[in-house]
């Protein structure tokens, strides 16, 4: 009986060892990284460089886009200005969106979400963060009350002073809606209702700007 039990244990051990051996065998030498083709895809990923790319100059996957072009779906992410600063943006960029109730309402929601913690619900610089870190200006005071839309758009995108950039958090269309609402706050108004006459006038202005980039307001070449 003992011999049978011992023989059974021995046979089980042999079978287990064989199973482990066969399950771990692989025709591919794993090297440092097991199955690297599962981690690094065959297509040329722009942000992943494992081997030299024999098709592109300098062997790089990532290439600079042709100057003046915009990738499909990325319209408005590149702002082409004669000088890359907020002052130039204020002179060269115009809001391409119609000033209507729907855009203002969405701008107010976006402002409350991303801007009010510092700038306050009424744009007075008295948000919870603004109270903690003094010096957030009021939209209705001094030079800030006169800032044009393009200037505000540039600051939202790239930041300025203590304000960090928000370009990765709100897309170009959302930024222009925030700009639209901030310009309401510059006048000391928090409402979003726009009269039919004002909406019609804004629509005419948008039609006149039809030859411009529909997001940045810059001319299409």
Per-residue pLDDT tens over the stretch 81-129: 888 899 999 999 999 999 999 999 999 999 999 999 999 999 999 999 9
Query: Is-above-0.75 flag for pTM?
Result: no
Q: Which residue has the higher pLDDT, 158 or 57?
A: 158
In a domain, 61, yes or no: no
Percent of the chain beyond pLDDT 70?
66
pLDDT at 194: 85
* 152, 155, 194 from 197: Cα distances, Å: 26, 31, 8
CATH code of the domain covering residue 100: 1.10.760.10
pLDDT band at 211 (very low <50, low <70, confident <90, very high): very low
In a domain, 118, yes or no: yes
Query: Apex CA 152: angle with CA 162 and CA 187, to 5°?
Result: 110
- Owning domain of residue 194: 86-203
Above 60 in pLDDT, residue 39?
A: yes
pLDDT at 220: 47
Q: Which residue has the higher pLDDT, 41 or 63?
A: 63
In a domain, 152, yes or no: yes
* 62, 94, 185 from 101: Cα distances, Å: 42, 19, 15
In a domain, 90, yes or no: yes
**Based on the structure, what is the number of domains in the chain?**
1
Q: How far apart are CA 221 and CA 97, in angstroms?
A: 20
């Amino acid at each position: 009986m003992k011999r049978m039990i011992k023989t059974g244990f021995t046979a089980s051990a042999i079978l287990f060892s064989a199973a482990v051996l066969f399950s771990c065998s692989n025709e591919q030498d794993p090297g440092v990284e097991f199955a690297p083709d599962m981690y690094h895809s065959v297509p040329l990923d722009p942000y992943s460089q494992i081997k030299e790319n024999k098709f592109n100059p300098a062997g790089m996957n990532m290439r600079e886009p042709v100057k003046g072009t915009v990738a499909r779906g990325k319209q408005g992410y590149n702002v082409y200005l004669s000088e890359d600063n907020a002052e130039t943006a204020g002179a060269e960029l115009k809001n391409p969106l119609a000033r209507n109730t729907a855009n203002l309402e969405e701008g107010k929601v976006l402002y409350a979400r991303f801007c009010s913690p510092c700038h306050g619900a009424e744009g007075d610089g008295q948000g919870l963060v603004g109270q903690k870190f003094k010096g957030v200006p009021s939209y209705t005071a001094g030079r800030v009350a006169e800032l044009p839309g393009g200037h505000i758009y540039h600051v939202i995108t790239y930041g300025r002073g203590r304000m960090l950039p928000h370009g990765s958090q709100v897309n170009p269309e959302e930024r222009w809606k925030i700009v639209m609402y901030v310009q309401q706050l510059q006048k000391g108004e928090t409402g979003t209702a726009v009269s039919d006459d004002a909406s019609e006038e804004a629509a005419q202005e948008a039609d006149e700007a039809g030859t411009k980039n529909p997001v940045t307001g810059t001319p299409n070449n």
